[in-house]
Structure 1
Amino acid sequence: MKFLLDECVSDRLLPSLEAAFRNCQFHSVASLDWRGTLDPKLFAAAAEASFDVLVSLDHKILRVDHERNALRKAGLHFAAIERPPVGVRGRDFNALVLAQLVSCLTLVLRTSPTAPTLFRLGAVPHDHTKRLTVEHI
């Protein structure tokens, strides 16, 4: 499976994700030089580059109809990670995001749905069945 980290997710997490999920590929918007690309164009480019999942802290994508429709049209799954609390920065910010990603991506890989699906993680779960939402986009 091929994952794309949106520009709001640090590309410093790539080595850790690649180590944790060895059979997957991880790239970031920054590493592909796609920074500043508007979301609908980004989704189309990601689909054309054979990405399966977009990982983002930007939940606005899900509330804006044309962005949600563009995501659906691209056929991408969307892993929505909860932004850490205000004031959390640097390594602590990345550690919280990484913990959520590991929890969420484990479920994405296990589920592997065919229709575009939203995986929304509300917090680092102790019991993912209570804190992780899965729904069709």
Structure 2
Amino acid sequence: MRILLDEDVAVQVLDPLRHVLRGHRVEHVHKLGWSGKKDLFVLRDAAAQHYEVLVTNDASQLDDPVEAAAIKKSGLHHVRYRQKYDLGVTGLALALGAVVSAMPYVVAELAMADGQRLVRILSIEPGGRHVTVDPAAAPPKYWPR
């Protein structure tokens, strides 16, 4: 599957996605020299270049009737996520973690699709991704006494 990352997707996600999506071609708009190109033209050109998926951080594209029509016309699967938390680098890490962890499942589902799909990747909530134990205060069963 040919996957294109839109300009608003951090370019740093390219290598991790290529790693988890082996066997698929993952490119970034910036690496193609398409930076600054309007979404309508990115959609048209991506379809002409036989991309099948557009990943974007621009969830408002679907709220714009002209852009929504261009997405429909392109036939591209539209995968969106939102950097929900304005936490600087931490917010970026949460957003990109959600994208990298979801995309193998998204791509597998899209490979089975019989037509265009619209996908929304759910965000990872801050602070809920780990558990810390103080073994001095509450030693787990496996902790030597």
TM beyond 0.5: yes
1:93 CA displacement: 3.9
1:134 alignment partner in structure 2: none
RMSD: 1.8
* Aligned residue in 1 for 2:105: 107
CA distance in 2, matches of 1:53, 1:104: 14
Cα deviations by residue, 1:43-69 (Å, 9 ceiling, x for unpaired)? 010011111111111011110011011
2:95 alignment partner, SS class:
helix
Count of equivalent residues: 124
Number of the residue aligned with 2:36: 36
Q: Is the 8 A contact 2:98 2:124 kept in 1?
A: yes
Residue 65 of structure 1 corresponds to which residue in structure 2? 65
Query: What's the counterpart of residue 120 of structure 2?
Result: 120
TM superposition score normalised by structure 1:
0.81
Structure 2 gaps, min length 5: 129-145
- Displaced runs of 4+ in structure 1, greater than 3 A? none
Shift of residue 38, structure 1, vs aligned partner: 1.1
Task: Please tell me the residue identity of whatever aligns with 1:108.
Answer: V
Contact 2:78-2:118 within 8 A present in 1 as well? yes
Q: TM-score, normalised by structure 2?
A: 0.77
How far apart, CA to CA, are the structure 2 residues paired with 1:106 and 1:19?
10
Counterpart residue number, 1:13: 13
Q: Which amino acid aligns with 1:76?
A: L
User: Identity of counterpart residues, as a percentage?
Assistant: 28
Question: For structure 1, which runs of at least 5 residues remain unmatched after alignment?
Answer: 127-137
More moved, 30-39 vs 105-114: 105-114
The residue number in structure 2 matching 1:74 is 74
Q: What is the alpha-carbon distance in structure 2 between the residues aligned to residue 15 and residue 106 of structure 1?
A: 14
Displacement of 1:106 after TM fit? 2.4
Structure 1 Cα separation of the partners of residues 122 and 15 of structure 2: 24
Aligned to 2:87: 87
Q: Which protein is bigger by CA-based radius of gyration?
A: 2
